[in-house]
Amino acid sequence: MYLNASAIYGLRHQARALAAQSSPQISTGDANHHRFIVGSMNIREENEIHLIEYNEDSNDLLCMAVYAFPHEVWHLSPSPSDAWLVFASHNDGEDFKSTLLCLPEPSEGANEKMTPVVMSGLQPVEKQSLEEVMSLPPTDGPVSSLLWAPVSDEAKAIPQIACLDHHNLKLWDISSSPSEMCAFKVCEASQAACAVWDRNQPTLLLTANDLQIQAWDIRQQQRALHMPSAHRFGVCAVDCNPNRPSYFVTSGQDRMIKFWDMRNPAKPIKVLCGHTHWVWTVQYNRFHDQLLISAGTDGLVNLWRVSSISSVPLLDLDGENGNNAADSADTKIRTFDEQRESVYSIAWSACDAWLFASLSYDGKVVLNHVPSTEKYKILL
327 falls in which pLDDT band (50, 70, 90)?
A: low
148 DSSP 8-state letter: E
pLDDT for 157 equals 59
Buried b (16+ CB within 10 A) or exposed e, 132-162: eeebbeebeebbbbbbbbbbeeeeeeebbbb
Q: Where are the alpha helices (DSSP H) in the chain?
A: 110-113, 318-321, 325-328, 372-379
Q: Is the pTM of this model over 0.75?
A: yes
**Integer Cα distance of 49 and 84 in angstroms:** 13
pLDDT for 118 equals 40
121 falls in which pLDDT band (50, 70, 90)?
A: very low
128 DSSP 8-state letter: B
Which stretch of 114-118, 140-144, 364-368 has the lowest confidence by average pLDDT?
Answer: 114-118
Q: Which residue has the higher pLDDT, 158 or 336?
A: 336
**Integer Cα distance of 52 and 40 in angstroms:** 14
pLDDT for 106 equals 75
Smallest Cα–Cα separation from 355: which of 56, 44, 39? 56
Tell me the pLDDT tens digit for each residue of 16-65. Answer: 999 999 865 444 444 568 999 999 999 888 899 999 999 989 999 999 99
Q: How far is CA 132 from CA 86, 102, 170, 297, in A?
A: 10, 6, 21, 33
Is residue 308 scored above 70 in pLDDT?
A: yes
**Integer Cα distance of 34 and 31 in angstroms:** 9
